[in-house]
């Protein structure tokens, strides 16, 4: 019985990694978020491994000195041919009225078009550890060019 469970678990893990091999090497675009975030962010994604990537988002508020930099390590899984879901963890720094450091998580869905464009919808909660940055919960829509 243990051998059967081990074999099924191994097949499941291999299936996840095999199906999630359609991550582009690079993607750059914009992420527009609601909630208490900065609103618009420049977004960059870098492929790391079979189903892993790094995403870095830079948001600049009305004042050029006010910025928010978020980095998340993400795992990607395929739902269908061009439709994926992902989850990740990370953190960032913010300089609004005070300098702050925060932890972040992300979960989202994305669609890869036939053209080198990907669109995504995600939820990113953030919890501040220093400064006046508290808990922020935002939903974002992103469009990126893949290359």
pLDDT tens digits for range 61-86: 766 668 889 999 999 999 998 999 99
- Tokens for 127? 């919890």
For residue 91, the model assigns a pLDDT of 95
For residue 131, CA distances in Å to 24, 33, 42, 106 come to 36, 22, 24, 22
For residue 123, CA distances in Å to 27, 37, 96, 126, 147 come to 19, 12, 22, 10, 25
Q: Count how many Cα atoms sit within 13 Å of the Cα of residue 25 in the half-sphere of its side chain.
A: 1
The β-bridge partners of 94 are: 68, 100
On whether the CB atoms of residues 16 and 49 are closer than 8 A, the answer is: no
How does the average pLDDT of the chain come out, rounded?
84
* Domain extent for 46: 2-146
φ/ψ of 131, rounded to 5, equals 75, -165
Domain count of the chain? Answer: 1
CA dihedral of residues 33, 37, 39, 42 (deg, nearest 10):
-80
- Mean pLDDT over 30-49 rounds to 85
Instruction: Please write the tens of the pLDDT for every residue from 104-144.
Output: 999 999 999 999 999 999 999 999 887 666 788 889 999 99
Q: What is the CA radius of gyration of the chain?
A: 17
CATH number of the domain bearing residue 79: 2.40.160.20
Distance separating alpha carbons of residues 14 and 135, to the nearest angstrom = 36
């Amino acid at each position: 019985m243990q051998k059967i469970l081990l074999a099924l678990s191994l097949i499941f893990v291999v299936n996840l990694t095999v199906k999630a091999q359609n991550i582009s090497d690079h993607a750059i675009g914009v992420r527009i978020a609601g909630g208490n975030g900065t609103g618009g962010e420049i977004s960059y994604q870098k492929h790391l491994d079979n189903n892993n990537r790094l995403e870095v988002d830079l948001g600049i508020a009305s004042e050029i000195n006010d910025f928010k930099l978020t980095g998340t390590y993400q795992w990607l899984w395929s739902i269908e041919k061009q439709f994926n879901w992902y989850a990740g963890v990370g953190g960032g720094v913010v300089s609004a009225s005070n300098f702050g450091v925060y932890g972040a998580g992300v979960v989202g869905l994305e669609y890869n078009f036939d053209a080198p464009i990907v669109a995504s919808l995600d939820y990113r909660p953030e919890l501040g550890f220093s400064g006046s940055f508290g808990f922020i919960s935002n939903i974002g829509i992103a469009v990126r060019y893949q290359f």
